[in-house]
Structure 1
Amino acid sequence: MPHLLIRGIAPEQIRSVSKPLTEELAAICSCPADDFMLECLHTTAIAGGEFAPSYPFIEIAWFDRGLEAQDRFAEAVDRHIRQGLGLPELELAFRVYRARDYYSAGRSLAEPTEARQQAEAEAAHPADEELEELRAANRKLAEELQRTRKALVSASGSAMSTRLRDALRE
């Protein structure tokens, strides 16, 4: 993983650039070069009722590594394959897998292990931290509002103006 599904380019051409390409992609993805699978698909294209050459197209199937890594990955693939092989055009598309939907040996990659559970427990999600900070600030404001209301009621007795009461309700 990642898998590059390649069509419209001869396997011999892909083989000629595969080593430097996978080495660069491995550095971008922070994984071993042998984790990559380059598959040359034999396709038959038909256009206008006639056989036509397949358009050079590469689909990258992977786990999301962020937009910066995706952009660097796409640039490296384009440089090694389109530019390196002298192709006039090449299109790429990314297909993102989710760990819970990807299975190996019949087991979802999202199935928790003790190490993963411990790591998840130790590393709080930044959005969760921010949400909890906002909730705490909201509780504090609600408490201050309640104290202010009590102070106003005791200071003015029960003769609080309707306008002030309406403003405090909002």
Structure 2
Amino acid sequence: MPHLLIRGVSPEQIRSISKPLVAELASHCQCPPDHILLECLHTTACYDGEIVPSYPFVEINWFERGQSVRDQAAECIDRHVRSLGIAEVEVAFRTYEANSYYANGIKLSVNGELQALQAENQRLKDELNKARKALQSNQTNSNSYMSSKLYDALRE
């Protein structure tokens, strides 16, 4: 994921920009390139009783990555498609929610395993911060080379 559904642009044109487009999108989305799928949809547009060329339109189906990544992805797609000599293209995002998405009949759920992993990650971060503080404290007090009990005894 992301999954790009592309209308109004020929498969040959998309094929010609697919490598640099996918590489750049993978960088913006922080995912492996093989997670990005480009599909060229064959459509027939009709207007005023005539068959007319389909308007270039790219729909991105994905899990939300935030406004900044969405803006970068839209700009990237627009730039690559328009490099084909296409004057105008529209880009739209459709966002999936993990609890409404199934893979092989199994629901991906933010409430399940992901939350457990996030909680474990937070616990490890907290432990790391405590260890860092203890290390800094020991380095500050290490100049005396004496335990605090010995230091207190000598002070008396």
Same fold (TM > 0.5) = yes
Question: What is the TM-score normalised by the length of structure 1?
Answer: 0.68
Secondary structure at the aligned position of 1:85 is classed as coil
The CA distance in 1 between the partners of 2:42 and 2:51, in whole Å, is 14
Secondary structure at the aligned position of 1:94 is classed as strand
Number of residue-to-residue matches in the alignment:
122
**1:87 aligns to what?**
86
Please show how residues 131-142 of structure 1 align to structure 2 within 5 Å. none
Distance 1:9 1:119, change over 3 A: same
**2:101 aligns to what?**
102
Please show how residues 1-150 of structure 1 align to structure 2 within 5 Å. 1-82=1-82, 84-110=83-109, 112-113=112-113, 116-120=115-119, 123=122
**1:164 aligns to what?**
none
**2:131 aligns to what?**
none
Choose 1 or 2 for highest CA Rg.
Answer: 1
The CA deviation at 1:118 is: 4.0
Secondary structure at the aligned position of 2:65 is classed as coil
**2:152 aligns to what?**
none
Deviations 1:28-51 (A, max 9, x none): 000001101000000010001111
Where do 5+ consecutive residues of structure 2 fail to align?
124-156
**2:145 aligns to what?**
none
The CA deviation at 1:94 is: 0.4
Secondary structure at the aligned position of 2:9 is classed as coil
Question: What is the TM-score normalised by the length of structure 2?
Answer: 0.74
What do you get for the CA RMSD once the two structures are aligned?
Answer: 1.7
Q: Percent identity?
A: 54
